[in-house]
Structure 1
Amino acid sequence: MASSLLPSQPLFAQDKNTDLDPVTITASLNPVQTSRTGRNVFVIKGDRFAQLPVHSVDELLRYLPGVEMQMRGPAGSQGDIVMRGGTFQQVLVLLDGMRLNDPNTGHFSGYIPIAPAEIDRIEILKGASSATYGSEAVGGVIHIITRTYAARKDSPETLAVQANGALGAYGFASLNAGTFLKKGNNIFSAGILSNHSDGQLQRGTRGFFHNNTVSLSASRFLSEKWKLSARAAFDQRDFGAQNFYTSFVSDTAKEKLSGTWAQMQVQRTGRRDRLTVDLGYKNMLDRFTYNSGSIPNSSRSELIQVLVRDEIRLREHTALTAGVQLINKKIASNDRGHHNLLQAGAFVVLNQQVGEKFSVNPALRVEWNESSKWELIPQVNLSYREGDFQFRASAGRTIRDADFTERYNNYNKSLVTGGRIGNPALNPESSFSYEAGADYFLNNHLKLSGTFFQRFHEQLIDWVNTPYANMPRKENLSPTGNYALAKNISKVNTRGVEGDIQFNQKTGDQQQIWASAGFTWIESAGTEATPSLYISSHARILTNLNLQYGYRNLTLSTAAIYKYRTAQEAKAIGARMEPGYFVLNGKLQYAIWKQQLGIFVQVDNIFDQSYQDLLGSVMPGRWVMGGISFRR
């Protein structure tokens, strides 16, 4: 007998699914349309990647509504992910349900070990989600779901191949290619993303990059009930990192990272439940060289995780997901020492539909951590549909524990004359968030969303400039040094407004328009007399825009961002972070054979805007490139 609960089907009978109201698994773990979750969720299909003027997954995220990428370098070199005015450690990144956040530092959250050709969709859940996912899910969750893991047994047999190659100024060379095959009960997918450049000129150095990601995955339906999936990936990045972390004149840094990622999933789909067991392993080696005269910082981090969850359909309109999670974090570093941390969690999420219009989704998690011990994390989401309007609200608690850099940075060195100093005595962050919003759907072509949110944060962890006399540990510090200490800030309150637009319309085979835009206004206020580093750098106004227009064989795509934030200046290195900037990328593509083979020209930063997202990290000016693409 065929199973009644399929991996990518909604649990409840819903309106016809569209691009504007797709099924999501991120908001409540059960597959359900976004309009029923009570949350602000944005979903983008993986196929959009090859059509938009971007070079890496972090660059794609940069132009999606509500996501602030604080870029240090292009084409996957480094970018901090910020949502709703939090810090870059307060966004959780998932790959097919497994957390990617590195235990060393949140700066590595943008290193997503997946080739774009393998992506089925990206789901962006904005706001508090710790009751479901635990630590780090404060500002939001970014969930990358791949074609192999999303495939269903009844999906048609498919062979898909795509490839994009480009050459450009400053020795730029790029390859983005992959294949997907489903035949019978077997699924296979593989991809490669490779970006290289000598780099544009910076302060006496060049912003070079040599970034490569190779990934492959496979699934097999062993029977009507059982599915086995596995993935392996290798990620290597080598780039100029001048002033990525400091604003010192002596900083001419380079950084090189190499990582491996492996995960496996066993899934049993029964008549009324679906049991899933996930295993994940991550290993990353980071070598950071401050300048030619310094000894490189070498840090190897490991992340081992097990996640078991069971989605149970209790009644026609009631579903329950319960699960347990075990995580082990390790680091071995000549800078931060050798450390190991164990944490665990148990959670339950209820999906209850009341009548045809109302849905309620409460969640509760118990989290344990060797450092911070026990935490109880509740949340509730509400949704009500009336005609073309969807009203939603959510409230819940979030937590985040310090990473190894925040606790132990520069602790293993004999002498530190300046820079950021870790603090082993840090307490975990805690906050309470609430939000309320509404969505308007028009003829399956247009969706308008508006959301007000507020977060009350206690014990927030951030870097604060601290005199030598006030440092809690002075053994390896210089009395004349300038230091930023990782501290718990007493209180930080953040409030904001989000507005999103999504539009999609196709007229026959001749014309198609797809667009997304987001506007975010954020205000944060803290109790510290000295402003903290990252709270003072998040955007106060953020606008993201994607637009794609196709007519016959011609396709024009643009991606734009406008950002307004607090101005900063570092006179010693001649760096100034202007309060506002606007960046526009454009791509023009022409299909020369059967809508499968095309040529394109792309211009990044069309108006040659001079800008920095983080003080001293100079972003590239205008960049011209062209290439060829193939899709089958």
Structure 2
Amino acid sequence: MKKLLLPICALSPFLVKAQAGVDLNPVSVTTSRVAQKVNETGRNISVIDGAMFRQLPVQSLDELLKYVPGVEVQARGPMGAQSDIVLRGGTYQQVLILLDGVKINDPITGHFNSYIPVAPSEILRIEVLRGPAAAVYGAEAVGGVIHVITKTFAAQDTASGLHGVVKASGGEYNFWNTDAGVQYAKGRVKAALGVLSNNTTGQLLRGDNRGYIHNNTVSGSVSADMANNWKMALRGSYDNRDFAAQNFYTTFASDTATEKVSTAWAQAQLKQHKNRHSHEIDAVFKNASDNYLYNSVSTANENKSKYAMAQYLYTLSLSHGFDIAGGAQSSLRVIRSNDRGNHQTGQIAGFGTLLYHYEHLNLSGSLRADYDGNYGFALIPQLNASYNAGIITFRGTAGRATRSADFTERYNNYNKTLVKSGSIGNPDLTAEQSWSYEAGATLNVAQYLKLSGTAFYRSQDNVIDWVTTPYADMPRQTNLDPSGTYALAKNLKQVKTKGMEFEATFQKQLSKNQSIYVNAGITLMRSTSNDPVPSFYIIAHAKTLIQSTVMYQFGRLSLSGNMIYKERNPQMAKGINAEITSSYAVFNARVGLRILSQLSVYASCNNIGNIRYSDLLGSTMPTRWFMGGASYNF
């Protein structure tokens, strides 16, 4: 009975200041790089207002995403320590993360993909696209896309002058937080500067170790409108994470790891929109450093990577309902490591999309010709369709995707003299190949209520995952101990995933000073593999995932809350007394009070039920945690 009640509780009005006038059918640019209303894209897309970050009981961007329906965030620690982002049952490597239209996925490992190098105060909105988008964006867009769009880079009018917000918080376990940002606009120039800092000594982990965190992000951006409808935008940011990483990657009792990851990010965009066509040139450079210390007597893994990318985009609106978009993209990935060795690889691609609109019918087809130094040449097609029949929109998608192994999957522990146990890379990995199909419908019952449902299926070949492998079966034994326990990066011959997604959004102004926003979703998934030995991450996704966010405002008082319920395959690691339970439910709540026109105070409680749980085996998540703070808008 308890399991049956939890999903029902998830859909009840759980409880922040509602966004009056939220558009339930906003414009999206993620599907095809051409601005379209969400119900015209043929895709299942959610759009999250950036302002929600400060209205909910969350402290980092990965925690905000955790409660978006269909987005599974497999967290190893709180407040941005580290999280794997999963969409539609894929691995954490099969989700593409974009910042203002450019890829930020880390070349070292997908474990770092949630380190988004921008402060929350800069974010205008986040678009979540479920399902493949490789034909438009390339590798990693297998399960979906998370696209962060910022205020400075977006074509949006901004109030003149200087304005911003400063928020300071504190709580148990010596927690303190700073979240601040300022925006300035005058004439043709816009600028923004933001900072997010989360720090805590942390709750107790296994033994006497604590889950400490010192995570800091500073980002700044500027844009200027120039002659002949040209606009230039620039961004620079620095992100540093220092945290306890005990049992983040292993289930060994000797693992008392700590980790430091720092990222410097530079981004430039030059865009022109004139009459019926537009040009866009993007260039990015990312410099990342990772220091991982397994325990106090081991030698730290030192990994340094560089990622550079340039792309050109062109769009043209033709007559008779046709639009075209296309361009070219090139990137270079480099690693220098005492653990993985020194390597580099490049990629180049050309891509195009044709969109057709006729009355209530919308069609789009995309094709990408991609060359990657790891897997050679690939053609990646995709088709999307939608039909608007009054209050209901029908949609469907079919698309191919491919993904090559990253540097960790290829070379982890390859450069060490002796490896007694752990994960071993495999340079002979072939690229993953997949075909995805989906069909769904969205019902706009009224301006304040939207319901949607989607069925999806993905067939994958040569999926890359880690598999427990005895020493005798290891393809390379040069630096291995015959008595060791190893996990080898392997290609799984075939993995099939099928599932359904249901989502409801209700937003309404109840009276002059009272409003409510409710978003809830259920995702049901199953994956099967023909490999006789279970792999690590393919079996780790939730089979049932229920998420909800509710925000309520009455005068000066605001109440908010979110919850998540997961059902998954149980696992056990007796050596460290760790387990993945068959299910868990976590509830969080926040109450805020505006005491002056510009000053507000709040109190929150995360994990109200004091549940002990883990998303990934060995990584214990925090139990109940009280926090409070104040924010000042100017």
Q: Bin the TM-score by the shorter chain.
A: over 0.9
> How far off its partner does 1:363 sit?
0.4
2:489 aligned to which of 486, 490, 494? 486
Aligned residue for 2:37?
A: 33
Q: In structure 1, what residue type is equivalent to 2:283?
A: L
> Contact 1:45 / 1:122 at 8 angstroms: preserved in 2?
yes
Amino acid at match of 2:592: Q
> Does residue 577 of the first structure (1) align with residue 565 of the second (2)?
no
Please point out which of 428, 432, 436 is paired with 1:433: 436
For 1:235 and 1:99, the matched residues in 2 are separated by 16
Residue 223, structure 1, aligned to residue 248, structure 2: no
Post-superposition CA distance 1:247-290 (Å, at most 9, x none): 00000000001110010000112212110000001111000000
**Counterpart in the other structure of 2:11:** none
Q: 1:391: Cα distance to partner? A: 0.3
**For 2:599, which of 585, 597, 600 is the aligned residue?**
597
Q: Distance in 2 between the 1:442 and 1:598 partners? A: 35
1:255 counterpart letter in structure 2: E
- Is the aligned partner of 1:567 residue 2:561? no
Q: CA deviation at 1:487?
A: 0.4
Q: CA deviation at 1:149?
A: 0.6
The one-letter amino acid of 1:277's match is: I
> Shift of residue 316 of structure 1?
5.4
| 3-state SS, counterpart of residue 62 of structure 2 | helix
Q: 1:191 maps to which residue?
A: 194
Within 5 Å, which residues of 2 pair with 1:536-575? Answer: 536-575=539-578
CA distance in 2, matches of 1:224, 1:556: 47
Deviation (angstroms), 1:155 = 5.0
State the SS of the aligned residue for 1:393: strand
Indicate which of 429, 453, 457 corresponds to 1:454: 457
Aligned to 1:248: 252
Give 1:490 deviation, angstroms. Answer: 0.3
Residues 278-357 of structure 1 correspond to what in structure 2 (within 5 A)? Answer: 278-315=282-319, 317-354=321-358, 356-357=359-360
Moved more, 167-176 or 499-508: 499-508
Structure 2 counterpart of 1:616, one-letter code: G
Q: How does 1:243-282 map to 2 (within 5 A)?
A: 243-282=247-286
Correspondence list, 1:36-55, <5 A: 36-55=40-59
The answer as to whether partners of 2:22 and 2:507 remain within 8 angstroms in 1 is no
Letter in 2 for 1:326: S
Matched with 2:5 is none
Deviation (angstroms), 1:193: 0.2
Q: Which residue of the partner structure matches residue 14 of structure 2?
A: none
SS class of match (1:60):
helix
- Could you list the per-position Cα deviations for residues 198-237 of structure 1 after superposition, in whole angstroms to 9, with x for gaps in the alignment? 0000112100000000000000001251100000000000
- The amino acid of 1:294's aligned partner reads S
Deviation of 1:19 after TM superposition, in Å, equals 1.5
* Structure 2: gaps (5+ residues): 1-20
Matched residues in 2 for 1:196 and 1:113: separation?
A: 17
Q: Given that residues 18 and 444 in structure 1 are in contact (C-alpha distance below 8 angstroms), is that contact kept between their aligned partners in structure 2?
A: no
**Which amino acid in 2 is paired with 1:430?**
Q
Give distance in 2, aligned partners of 1:409 and 1:156: 50
Q: Write the deviation string for residues 119-174 of structure 1: whole angstroms up to 9, x where unpaired.
A: 0000000001101111000000000000001134x555354311221110000000
Q: Which residue pairs with 1:77 in the alignment?
A: 81
Question: Aligned with 1:150: secondary structure?
Answer: coil
Asked if 1:62 is matched to 2:66, the reply is yes
Between the aligned partners of 2:307 and 2:586, the Cα distance in structure 1 is 36
TM-score by length of 1: 0.96
Q: In the TM superposition, what are the counterparts of 1:360-509 in structure 2 within 5 Å?
A: 360-509=363-512
1:238 aligns with 2:246: no
1:175 aligns with 2:178: yes
Counterpart of 1:182 in structure 2: which amino acid?
Answer: A
What amino acid maps onto 2:602 in structure 1? Answer: F
What CA distance in whole angstroms lies between the structure 1 residues aligned with 2:167 and 2:325? 40
Write out per-residue CA displacement over residues 51-91 of structure 1, whole angstroms, 9 at most, x where no aligned residue: 01100001101011110000000001000000000000000
Structure 2 counterpart of 1:528, from 531, 540, 551: 531
SS at match of 1:478: coil
SS at match of 2:611: coil
SS of the residue corresponding to residue 251 of structure 2 reads coil
User: Which whole-Å CA distance do the structure 2 matches of 1:52 and 1:577 have between them?
Assistant: 27
- Contact 1:70–1:614 (8 Å) recurs in 2: yes
1:18 positional shift: 5.7
Aligned equivalents of 1:316 and 1:95: distance in 2? 33
SS at match of 1:480: coil
| Secondary structure of the structure 1 residue equivalent to 2:111 | helix
CA distance in 2, matches of 1:177, 1:568: 40
Structure 1 counterpart of 2:556, one-letter code: N
Deviation of residue 512 (structure 1)? 1.1
CA separation in 1, counterparts of 2:85 and 2:298? Answer: 29
Cα distance in 2 for partners of 1:392, 1:631 equals 42
C-alpha distance in 2 between matches for 1:19 and 1:421: 48
Moved more, 242-251 or 517-526: 517-526
Structure number with the bigger relative contact order (C-alpha 8 A, sep ≥ 6) is 2
Structure 1 position 463, deviation (Å): 0.3
CA distance in 2 between partners of 1:371 and 1:177 (Å): 42
Taking the aligned partners of 2:617 and 2:22, their CA distance within structure 1 comes to: 42
In the alignment, is the contact (CA less than 8 A) between 1:358 and 1:383 conserved in 2? yes
Instruction: Please report how far the alpha carbon of residue 629 of structure 1 lies from its aligned counterpart in structure 2 after TM superposition.
Output: 1.2
Runs of 4+ in 1 over 3 A off after TM superposition: none
Structure 1 155/239 Cα, relative in aligned 2: closer, same or farther at 3 Å? Answer: closer
CA separation in 1, counterparts of 2:518 and 2:152?
27
Q: Distance in 1 between the 2:28 and 2:418 partners?
A: 50
Q: CA–CA distance in 1 between the matches of 2:63 and 2:566?
A: 15
Superposition deviation, residue 507 in structure 1: 3.1
Secondary structure of the corresponding residue to residue 481 of structure 2: strand
Q: In 1, are the aligned partners of 2:85 and 2:95 still within 8 Å (CA)? A: yes
Superposed displacement of residue 508, structure 1: 4.2
Structure 1 CA distance, aligned partners of 2:531 and 2:245? 30
Distance 1:80 1:142 in 2: 13
User: In terms of mean alpha carbon deviation, does 161-170 or 191-200 score higher?
Assistant: 161-170
| Counterpart-to-counterpart distance in 2, 1:297 and 1:141 | 30
TM-score relative to the length of structure 2: 0.96
Q: Select the residue among 91, 96, 103 that pairs with 2:107.
A: 103
Kindly provide the CA deviation profile for residues 507-535 of structure 1, in whole angstroms up to 9, marking residues without a partner as x.
Answer: 34311111211210000000100111101
Query: What is the alpha-carbon distance in structure 2 between the residues aligned to residue 343 and residue 417 of structure 1?
Result: 35
SS at match of 1:534: coil
Identity percentage over the alignment? Answer: 47
Aligned match of 1:518: 521
RMSD: 1.0
1:554–1:589: 8 Å Cα contact kept in structure 2? yes
CA distance in 2, matches of 1:515, 1:307: 38
- Structure 1 residues 449-458 or 313-322, which shifts more? 313-322
